[in-house]
Amino acid sequence: MNTYLDQDKLKSSRTKIGIYLGSEPESGGMFQYGLSILDAAASLPKDRYKTIIACTTERWEEHLKFLGLEHFRISQNLLWRIFKGKGWLLLNLPISFWQRAFFNFNPAFSRRLIEESCSLWIFPSQDTWTYLLPLNSLGIIHDLMHRYERKFPEAAAPLEYLRREKHYRAICKYSRGILVDSNCGGKQVMESYKVHADRIHVLPYVPPGYINSQGHSINFDTKYELPRKFFFYPAQFWEHKNHHNLLAALAGLKREINDIHLVLVGSAKNAYKKTLEYLNSMDLSNNVTILGYVSSEDMPELYHRTRALIFPSFFGPTNIPPLEACATGCPMAVSNIYGMPEQLGDAALFFNPNAVDEMMNAMKRLWTDDDLCRQLSRNGKKRAALWNQNSFNGKFQTIIEDVARTADS
């Protein structure tokens, strides 16, 4: 038997999958989702799949080396990086024009991805490269909240709405398949862009692997100076994250529970200043702690120490922080929107994010009822065991096999 020929034959028969990573850790959910996709890619059978990773920043390096994934760094033309934001999508020119323009602006970048000859490329951050390159791509649509929550300017201001519409329509048109987070998310894609159900693949989120870590930074207690008992809300300060109603609920509870406390995590941008002004106007400066950006290393400890997660966001269909709460056994109360009841079941209390009184009631129950918190904690851990990274990896492989098969046919 010629071992070398057999190895060459095995290599040539493997399905080659490419993954493009363009997000940064500060992008939050996008980066976390990328980590889940990487773990799933690393779990693919080596005798059937070869995976190559293209990344734009060295900040992915430690994860890629740990998983043993072959990778290379790649950068875009500076002029294109300046131009590729919102502007080109808002110009009334066909995508075919921009496909040619992109190749001319970025010939080295384009050839590098094309010459890998992958059966399928995956773009976890919903990148425009999903359709700007002549590749078989697996598109991803995390949400269509610009359509379903049009009152929030960060998603549905006129120009932003047009940009998102053109972007998501192109993903739907040019992708071989589309990943969504839930049955609700799949339904929204189908009804919005008339996508056939066969092209929709539901792959629910999982919490990032670091959430199961038992360690934290040595100086954790001096770095954060947390109160003994507190609610926790990790979210950037976007309007749709609903800090306004959360603070209103907290102010209402303060009249009954003087020592009630809320800890927020998020960078000082977007609606941060507006949130701070409202917080001070409600006389809550002694009841709210804002930690700013918190490293992945310290997040699990915050879930372990908090009384409960409060998640009043208006956006879905589903979200990652409640899954982190499930994994850590953290009780929670969340918005009863879109796919959230599907995602969490009996692991959470639910409330209308528009109804401050409902939010107050849920928070009061969590603050005062130890038995309820213990039950929700147990339910969350059971739910986390039913759908975890191993489950995600298995479903990912099934989807890859399905989409790659249609791409090769």
Q: Which helix (H) or strand (E) holds 104?
A: helix 95-105
What's 42's domain CATH number?
3.40.50.2000
CA-CA distance, 132 to 121, in Å (whole number)? 12
DSSP result, 135-184:
S-EEEE----HHHH-TT-HHHHSHHHHHHHHHHHHHHHHH-SEEEESSHH
DSSP state of 43: T
Q: Is residue 113 part of a domain?
A: yes
Contact partners, residue 14, CB within 8 Å, separation at least 6: 47, 48, 49, 50
Same domain, 173 and 62: yes
CA-CA distance, 165 to 171, in Å (whole number)? 10
Which strands sit side by side in the sheet containing 177-180, from one edge to the other?
70-73, 49-55, 15-21, 120-122, 137-140, 177-180, 200-202
pLDDT for 4 equals: 36
pLDDT for 86 equals: 60
Same domain, 235 and 193: no
How far apart, in Å, do the first and last CA atoms of the chain sit? 32
What pTM value is reported for the model? 0.88
Same domain, 280 and 325: yes
Same domain, 251 and 347: yes
CA-CA distance, 9 to 90, in Å (whole number)? 47
Counting DSSP H helices and E strands in the chain, the numbers are 21, 13
Same domain, 195 and 219: no
Q: Is residue 1 part of a domain?
A: no
Contact partners, residue 62, CB within 8 Å, separation at least 6: none
Q: Nearest 5°: phi and psi at 178?
A: -135, 125
pLDDT for 25 equals: 65
Same domain, 30 and 156: yes
Q: Which residue range is the domain that position 230 belongs to?
A: 209-386
> How many independent structural domains does the chain possess?
2
Cβ 112 vs Cβ 53: under 8 Å: no
Cβ 35 vs Cβ 391: under 8 Å: no
Whose CA is closest to 138, among 146, 151, 129? 129
The per-residue pLDDT string of the chain (409 residues; one tens digit each, 9 = 90 and over) reads: 343 334 444 455 789 999 998 877 666 677 888 889 999 999 999 999 999 999 887 888 888 888 888 888 887 665 565 555 566 666 777 888 878 877 777 788 888 999 999 999 999 988 888 998 899 999 999 999 999 999 999 999 998 898 899 999 999 999 999 999 999 999 999 999 999 999 999 999 999 888 888 777 788 888 888 999 999 999 999 999 999 999 999 999 999 999 999 999 988 899 999 999 999 999 999 999 999 888 888 999 999 999 999 999 999 999 999 999 999 999 999 999 999 999 999 999 999 999 999 999 999 999 999 999 999 999 999 999 999 999 999 999 999 998 887 766 5
